[in-house]
C-alpha cells in the first residue's frame, strides 16, 4: 500500500511539474509578446518564488505597482533577493514613496554593486533634495504671503484710522466754524437790536410834528418860493382855532 501511495505521489508531482512547465512556458511567451495580463494569469498557477517574481514583474508592467510590490515582498528565495529589492525600489518610486525606495536601493547595493541601481538611487536622492527644497520654498512663500497679508491689513487699518481721524477733524473744524459763524451772527444781531433800541428811544424823545406845525412850515416854504410839499406824517385833521 505504501508503495502504491508513493507511486501515486510521484505521478501527481510529475503531472504537476508538467503543468507548471506548460504554464511557465505560456507565461514566458506572453510576457515576451507584451501580453502581461495573460502572463500574470499563467504565473499565478505556479506556486514557487520564481513564478511569483515573474508574476510581480507582469503586474509591474501593467502599472499595478501596489499589487506588484506586495507580490515582490512574498518572495523568500535568497537567489532572488537582489532582484526583489531592486524591483521593490522601482515599485516604491512609482508609488511616490521616495524615502522607502532609497532604502530598498541601498539594501540591494549591499548585495550587488549594480550600475542601474546606483543610477536610480542617485536620481531619487536628487529628487528627494529637490522635494525638500520645494517644500522649504513653499513654506517660505506661505510665510511671505502671510506677512504680506498682515502688512496689507495693518496698512488698511492705518489708512482707515487716518481717514476716521481726518473725518473727525473735519467735523470738528466745521463745528468750530459753525460756532464762530453763529457767534458772529449773534453779535451782529445784538448790535442791531441795540441800535434799534437806541432809535426807538430817540423817536420817543421827539414827538411827531402836528398838522398845525406842518401847515406853518408849508407857508414859510411857499413864501420863499420853494415848491415843495411836505408829506403829512400823521393821518386825520386837527381842528385848530387859529390859522397861520
pLDDT digits (tens, 9 = 90+) for 84-94: 999 999 999 99
205-229 burial code (b ≥16 CB/10 A, e <16): eeeeeebeebeeeeeeeeeeeeeee
- d(CA 52, CA 40) in angstroms, rounded, equals 9
In which band, very low, low, confident or very high, does the pLDDT at 180 lie, cut at 50, 70 and 90? confident
Mean pLDDT of 151-171: 81
Mean pLDDT of 89-117: 96
22: Cβ contacts below 8 Å, ≥ 6 apart? none
**More confident of the two residues 47 and 144:** 144
* pLDDT reported for residue 147: 86
Q: How confident is the model over 203-221, as pLDDT tens digits?
A: 555 555 566 776 776 777 6
Look over the chain and give the mean of its residue pLDDT values, rounded to a whole number: 80
**More confident of the two residues 35 and 23:** 35
- d(CA 35, CA 29) in angstroms, rounded, equals 9
> Nine-digit cell at 72?
515582490
Mean pLDDT of 53-80: 95
**More confident of the two residues 127 and 187:** 127
Enter the pTM of the model: 0.54
> Nine-digit cell at 152?
496689507
Dihedral pair phi/psi, residue 219, rounded to 5°: -65, -40
**More confident of the two residues 29 and 237:** 29
* pLDDT reported for residue 26: 84
In which band, very low, low, confident or very high, does the pLDDT at 229 lie, cut at 50, 70 and 90? low
* pLDDT reported for residue 226: 52
* pLDDT reported for residue 61: 96
Amino acid at each position: 500500500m505504501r508503495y502504491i501511495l508513493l507511486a501515486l505521489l510521484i505521478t501527481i508531482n510529475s503531472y504537476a511539474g508538467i503543468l507548471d512547465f506548460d504554464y511557465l512556458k505560456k507565461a514566458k511567451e506572453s510576457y515576451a509578446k507584451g501580453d502581461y495580463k495573460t502572463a500574470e494569469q499563467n504565473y499565478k498557477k505556479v506556486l514557487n518564488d520564481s513564478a511569483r517574481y515573474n508574476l510581480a514583474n507582469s503586474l509591474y508592467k501593467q502599472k499595478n505597482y501596489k499589487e506588484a510590490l506586495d507580490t515582490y515582498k512574498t518572495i523568500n528565495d535568497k537567489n532572488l533577493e537582489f532582484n526583489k529589492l531592486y524591483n521593490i525600489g522601482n515599485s516604491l518610486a512609482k508609488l511616490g514613496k521616495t524615502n522607502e525606495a532609497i532604502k530598498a536601493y541601498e539594501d540591494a547595493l549591499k548585495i550587488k554593486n549594480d550600475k542601474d541601481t546606483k543610477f536610480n538611487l542617485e536620481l531619487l536622492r536628487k529628487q528627494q533634495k529637490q522635494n525638500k527644497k520645494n517644500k522649504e520654498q513653499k513654506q517660505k512663500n506661505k510665510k511671505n504671503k502671510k506677512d504680506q497679508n498682515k502688512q496689507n491689513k495693518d496698512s488698511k487699518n492705518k489708512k482707515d484710522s487716518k481717514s476716521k481721524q481726518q473725518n473727525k477733524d473735519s467735523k470738528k473744524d466745521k463745528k468750530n466754524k459753525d460756532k464762530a459763524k453763529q457767534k458772529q451772527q449773534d453779535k451782529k444781531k445784538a448790535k442791531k437790536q441795540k441800535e434799534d433800541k437806541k432809535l426807538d428811544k430817540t423817536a420817543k424823545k421827539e414827538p411827531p410834528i402836528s398838522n398845525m406845525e406842518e401847515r406853518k412850515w408849508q407857508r414859510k416854504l411857499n413864501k420863499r418860493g420853494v415848491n415843495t410839499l411836505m408829506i403829512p406824517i400823521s393821518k386825520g385833521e386837527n381842528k385848530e382855532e387859529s390859522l397861520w
